[in-house]
């Protein structure tokens, strides 16, 4: 009789300069280099490009991974972006309506301008999909290329004060929040068995 491995959930604060892949044929650093042995048997949920920092979840729970990333579940992803220029009312309206990227239009984004200084702006952007390099492409399409980008939230999971390059297990409260949103199955924390 085969016993399924216990479900595991790790949250990493990914630094820029690391690829979201298991190995790289050119020898560049990957997120698995940061995880070390504790990353064995885990896969990432929602890729971050090499230049993007922030929240990256690892798990061996395929159901949770699917529910967090499939567009039909509309799980919010929140980013902080420093951009060139200052968003106009027209730019904000375009982002809120969805941006045409190639043959498709993005779903609406919620954008809040947090600060402006020296021809740049810091914004908080919330989307419920995750196309390849979507945030960077959306902002470039409205004329405001990204200087730096950080994912700070995925569904109920928040990056908080986790140091750059560090990882931790999800807390019992985070697992409960995932369950309450219908993203995680089960009535208990598998780590307690």
Exposed e or buried b per residue across 153-177, where buried means at least 16 C-beta atoms within 10 angstroms of its C-beta: bbbbbebeeeeeeebeebeeebbeb
Decide: 9 and 21 in contact? Cβ < 8 Å: no
| Per-residue confidence (pLDDT) for residue 158, from 0 to 100 | 97
Domains, in order of start, for the chain: 9-71+155-192 (3.30.70.580), 76-153 (3.30.70.1560)
Q: Which of 24, 49, 89, 190 is catalytic?
A: 49
Mean pLDDT of 144-166: 97
Mean pLDDT of 151-175: 97
Average pLDDT along the chain: 91
- Res 179 pLDDT > 80: yes
C-alpha–C-alpha distance, residues 3 and 12, integer Å: 27
The closest of 171, 145, 148 to 158, measured between CA atoms, is 171
49 is catalytic: yes
pLDDT tens string 55-112: 999 999 999 999 998 888 889 999 999 999 999 999 999 999 999 888 888 889 999 9
- Res 193 pLDDT > 70: no
Residue with the two structure tokens 């399924």? 4
- Res 169 pLDDT > 80: yes
């Amino acid at each position: 009789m085969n016993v399924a491995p216990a479900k595991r959930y790790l949250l990493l604060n990914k630094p820029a300069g690391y690829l979201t892949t298991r190995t790289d044929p050119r020898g560049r650093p990957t997120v698995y280099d940061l995880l070390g042995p504790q990353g064995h048997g885990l896969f990432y949920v929602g890729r971050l490009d090499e230049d993007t920092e922030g929240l990256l979840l690892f798990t061996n729970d395929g159901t949770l991974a699917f529910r967090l990333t499939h567009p039909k579940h509309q799980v919010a992803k929140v980013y902080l972006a420093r951009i060139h220029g200052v968003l106009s009312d027209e730019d904000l309206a375009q982002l809120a309506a969805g941006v045409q990227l190639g043959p498709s239009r993005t779903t609406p984004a919620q954008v809040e301008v947090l600060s402006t200084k020296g021809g740049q702006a810091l914004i908080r952007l919330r989307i419920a999909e995750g196309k390849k390099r979507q945030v960077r492409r959306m902002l470039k399409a409205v004329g405001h290329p990204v200087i730096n980008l950080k994912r700070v939230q995925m569904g109920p999971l928040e990056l908080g004060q986790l140091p750059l390059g560090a990882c931790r297990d999800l807390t019992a409260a985070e697992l409960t929040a995932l369950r309450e949103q219908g993203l995680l199955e089960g009535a208990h924390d598998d780590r307690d068995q």
